């Protein structure tokens, strides 16, 4: 797995994609500089928007971690979690992920800080962060925009996908990285 000489697939995707976008921009005579900077400005705005909720959530999660309660809960849940091969450290992430994006970022960061990103728990947390969405928020926004209250089986279907994602993330990390 380690050693700089062999390149993983992921090492190619990002530079190749970046180059492809710029080439397309040149061919299509897009105003690359103008579009890039206005897009980047939007990114700056997004970052500014997430700072206040992030401060609240990172602090709450930090207090929670410092109290030692997560360790206690993980211990309590560990027989069940180890039965399905899911790392106990990632349980808080699985709980918050469908509810809040900035909350999930806070929990994800604390998992990476406590465990190395290349550890099993760190990798599972990374895969969860990369492969799931803020389900409740999306459903609320999509139906809320039309003032629809009854979303039928939308949440049930989405959450069954989320739970599948959590369980499969641990399997996928084992499959592809160990």
Partner 1 sequence: MVGKFAGVLILASVIYSLISGNISDVSSAVLNEPVNAVELAVYLCGGMCFWSGLMRVAEKSGITEVIAGLLKKPLKALFVDIDTEGRAFRCICMNVSANLLGLGNAATPLGLEAMKALSEESEGELPSDNMVIFTVLNTASLTLIPTTAASLRLKYGAERPFDIMPAVIFTTAASLTVSLIAAKAGCAIGRHRKKHERKRGKCLG
Cα 49 to chain centroid distance, Å, stands at: 18
> What is the C-alpha end-to-end distance of the chain, expressed in Å?
9
Helix (H, G, I), strand (E, B) or coil at 164: helix
Query: What mask, x for binding partner 1 by CB under 8 A, covers residues 53 to 72?
Result: xxxxxxxxxxxxxxxxx--x
Residue 81 or residue 120: which is nearer to partner 1 going by CB?
120
Contact between 39 and partner 1 per CB under 8 A: yes
| Smallest separation, CB 145 to partner 1 (Å) | 5
Query: What mask, x for binding partner 1 by CB under 8 A, covers residues 114 to 133?
Result: --xxx---xx--xxxxxxxx
Contact between 83 and partner 1 per CB under 8 A: no
d(CA 57, CA 73) in angstroms, rounded, equals 19
Contact between 85 and partner 1 per CB under 8 A: no
Pull the structure tokens for residue 77. 């849940």
Contact between 150 and partner 1 per CB under 8 A: yes
């Amino acid at each position: 797995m380690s050693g700089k000489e062999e390149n993983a697939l992921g090492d190619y995707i990002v530079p190749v994609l970046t180059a492809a976008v710029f080439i397309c921009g040149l061919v299509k005579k897009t105003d690359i500089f103008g579009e890039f900077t206005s897009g980047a400005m939007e990114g700056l705005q997004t970052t500014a928007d997430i700072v206040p909720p992030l401060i609240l959530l990172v602090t709450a999660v930090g207090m929670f971690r410092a109290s030692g309660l997560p360790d206690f809960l993980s211990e309590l849940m560990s027989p069940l979690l180890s039965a399905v091969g899911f790392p106990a450290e990632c349980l808080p992430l699985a709980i918050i992920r469908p509810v809040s994006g900035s909350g999930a970022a806070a929990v994800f960061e604390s998992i990476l800080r406590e465990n190395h990103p290349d550890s099993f728990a760190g990798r599972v947390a990374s895969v969860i962060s990369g492969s799931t969405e803020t389900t409740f928020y999306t459903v609320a926004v999509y139906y809320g925009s039309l003032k629809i209250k009854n979303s039928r089986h939308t949440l049930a279907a989405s959450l069954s996908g989320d739970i599948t994602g959590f369980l499969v993330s641990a399997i996928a990390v084992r499959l592809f990285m160990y």
